């Protein structure tokens, strides 16, 4: 089993170039469980305990109705109850098709009970007819419903009463309590397409794209901030993150084929999936160099048992926790 690294402050000797030297942002590394995770029983809780012990910054849960991944809201609640410092987020929770009032109360309650450790991240949902059927939303309606639901959600957290009139939601002077500890929780969105980038600038507090390169994100982060300024908003420089899938060893051919279909513009598709702890750490350093500071690493091939998970996470901590400053 990899040895748990002793805590050390950020110094030139252990930090990647550009972290302590620049000293402008706090680099944090969280761990994500993808839509194919099988940690949907009590073994999940043991992995949560290990993440807390190893001082990972956060745990992120994905959502897929037709997959074995646990429901993110239930899993986040269980994780929050087991821990004191580990932040809890979604990568991502589907928003269209949910009642935004009920969800706002659920998440505010979770934020209060976890003492402000909620990291809400939302998406439109995958372009899969089975998943769309499960949420009862037509694909052509997803974007507009998302925009309305997020506006309502934010109002629930910030305003004494909610008044909103749209195509999908209508409320008058509706009181939603309790309010979250965070004032309010900061909402993260992903995406790489132009419409998604503009949505981040208009509506979000942070950007967390996936399957990207440093060359992808640098100009788009600039666009996010330009769009935010156009809407009289400002996004904290600390809220530029990246979700990085990785493997230890060569990535499966099926994974690479899927990535090639998703990103046909990337000449060397292997650059999207680091295949060792060293290359994963190097990838994080490259993203830090273009301004990113919040990272969620997700194993594309998961360990098969709790003992293997513990070994895997200890090895990860040895290489990745020192990157935090």
Domains annotated on the chain, with CATH:
28-92+190-323 (3.20.20.30)
Query: Is the Cβ–Cβ distance between 88 and 57 less than 8 Å?
Result: no
CA–CA distances in Å: residue 62 to residues 25, 26, 37: 26, 24, 9
The percentage of residues in the chain with a pLDDT greater than 70, rounded to a whole number, is 93
Give the 3-state secondary structure of residue 184. Answer: coil
Mean pLDDT of 131-151: 92
Tell me what the pLDDT averaged over the chain comes to.
Answer: 91
When computed from its CA atoms, the radius of gyration of the chain, rounded to whole angstroms, is 19
Give the CA angle between residues 61, 67, 71 to the nearest 5°. 40
Confidence at 125, pLDDT banded by 50, 70, 90: confident
Cα-Cα end-to-end distance for the chain: 25
pLDDT in tens, 65-76: 999 999 999 999
Query: Is the Cβ–Cβ distance between 20 and 8 less than 8 Å?
Result: no
Which helix (H) or strand (E) covers residue 246, if one does? strand 241-246
User: If you count them, how many residues does the chain have?
Assistant: 325
> Distance between CA 7 and CA 305 in Å, rounded?
27
On the question of pLDDT at 8 being above 90, the answer is no
DSSP 65: T
How would you classify the pairing of strands 28-33 and 58-61? parallel
pLDDT in tens, 46-65: 999 999 999 999 999 999 99
**Maximum Cα–Cα distance across the chain:** 58
Poorest-confidence range of 14-28, 46-60, 187-201, 261-275? 14-28
> Distance between CA 88 and CA 109 in Å, rounded?
13
The percentage of residues in the chain with a pLDDT greater than 90, rounded to a whole number, is 84
Query: Is the Cβ–Cβ distance between 244 and 295 less than 8 Å?
Result: yes
> Distance between CA 75 and CA 59 in Å, rounded?
10
């Amino acid at each position: 089993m990899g040895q748990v690294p002793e805590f050390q402050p950020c110094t030139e000797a252990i930090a990647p170039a550009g972290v302590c030297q620049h000293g402008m942002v706090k680099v944090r590394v969280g761990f994500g469980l993808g839509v194919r995770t099988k940690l949907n029983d009590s073994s999940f809780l043991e992995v949560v305990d290990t993440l807390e012990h190893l001082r990972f910054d956060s745990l992120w849960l994905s959502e897929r109705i037709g997959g074995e991944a646990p429901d993110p809201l239930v899993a986040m609640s269980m994780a929050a109850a087991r821990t004191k410092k580990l932040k809890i987020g979604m990568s991502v929770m589907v928003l269209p098709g949910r009642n935004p009032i009920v969800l706002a109360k659920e998440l505010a309650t979770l934020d209060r009970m976890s003492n402000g450790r909620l990291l809400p991240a939302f998406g439109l949902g995958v372009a899969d007819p089975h998943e769309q059927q499960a949420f009862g939303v037509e694909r052509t309606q997803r974007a507009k419903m998302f925009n309305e639901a997020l506006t309502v959600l934010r109002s629930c957290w910030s305003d004494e009463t909610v008044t909103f009139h749209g195509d999908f939601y209508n409320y008058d002077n509706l009181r939603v309590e309790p309010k979250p500890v965070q004032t309010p929780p900061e909402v993260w969105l992903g995406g790489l397409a132009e419409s998604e980038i503009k949505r981040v600038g208009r509506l979000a507090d942070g950007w967390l794209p996936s399957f990207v390169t440093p060359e992808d994100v640098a100009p788009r982060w600039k666009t996010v901030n330009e769009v935010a300024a156009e809407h009289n908003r400002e996004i904290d420089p600390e809220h530029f993150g990246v979700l990085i899938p990785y493997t230890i060893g060569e990535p499966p051919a099926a994974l690479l084929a899927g990535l090639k279909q998703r990103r046909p513009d990337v000449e060397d598709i292997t650059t999207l999936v680091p295949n060792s702890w060293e290359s994963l750490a190097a990838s994080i350093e490259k993203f830090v160099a273009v301004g990113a500071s919040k990272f969620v690493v997700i194993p594309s091939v998961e360990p098969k048992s709790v003992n293997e998970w513990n070994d895997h996470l200890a090895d990860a901590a040895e290489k990745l926790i020192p990157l935090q400053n």
